[in-house]
Amino acid sequence: MGTGGLDRRLTKARCGRQNRAQSCRRAAIETGRAEGFLAAHAVTTIHYLISRQLQEPDVKRALGTLLKLFTVAAVDGSVLQHALQSSGADFEDSVTAAAAQASGCHLIVTRDPKGFRRATLPALTPAQALVLLC
């Protein structure tokens, strides 16, 4: 089973739009062929982003579905300390990478792999991850 941390920007880019790639990723997670994680700090950002497009009952339903599909990777003091000590240029990306590593993820799926160049885990684009999942 593959284990991947999901950068919130990927979720932001795909919210509200079903396509073949998204369906394949979701099927891989739902069937247990892969396990997806969201860093805890990303969940409030996702809520903010989708609440700009949907009414609150729909936002809660969407977040509920998201939280059923993905495991939340903890962001605690240890993760934040690890992120602070990393050599990453962007703190938010460093927190995501540290949370993914602490959760036992094997890779990070993101629209911006360059932001994770210094991460200890490989960072793949959604298209690259799709090849692994489908």
How many structural domains are present in the chain? Answer: 1
pLDDT reported for residue 4: 56
11-56 tens-digit pLDDT: 433 433 446 666 776 677 777 777 889 999 999 999 999 999 999 9
* Confidence band for 99, pLDDT divided at 50, 70 and 90: very high
Could you tell me the CATH number of the domain that includes residue 111?
Answer: 3.40.50.1010
pTM, to two decimals: 0.76
Which of 4-13, 80-89, 123-132 shows the highest mean pLDDT? 80-89
The label of the residue with tokens 């200890």 reads 120
* CA pair distance 31, 99, nearest whole angstrom: 24
Which domain covers residue 31, as residue numbers?
Answer: 2-133
**Res. 133 pLDDT band, cuts 50 70 90:** confident
Q: Which pLDDT score is estimated for 20?
A: 62
- Residue 5 reports pLDDT greater than 70: no
Pairing of strands 107-109, 2-6: parallel
| Three-state DSSP class for residue 123 | strand
What value does the mean pLDDT of the chain take? 83
pLDDT above 90 (res 86): yes
d(C-alpha 114, C-alpha 100), whole Å: 16
pLDDT at 89: 87
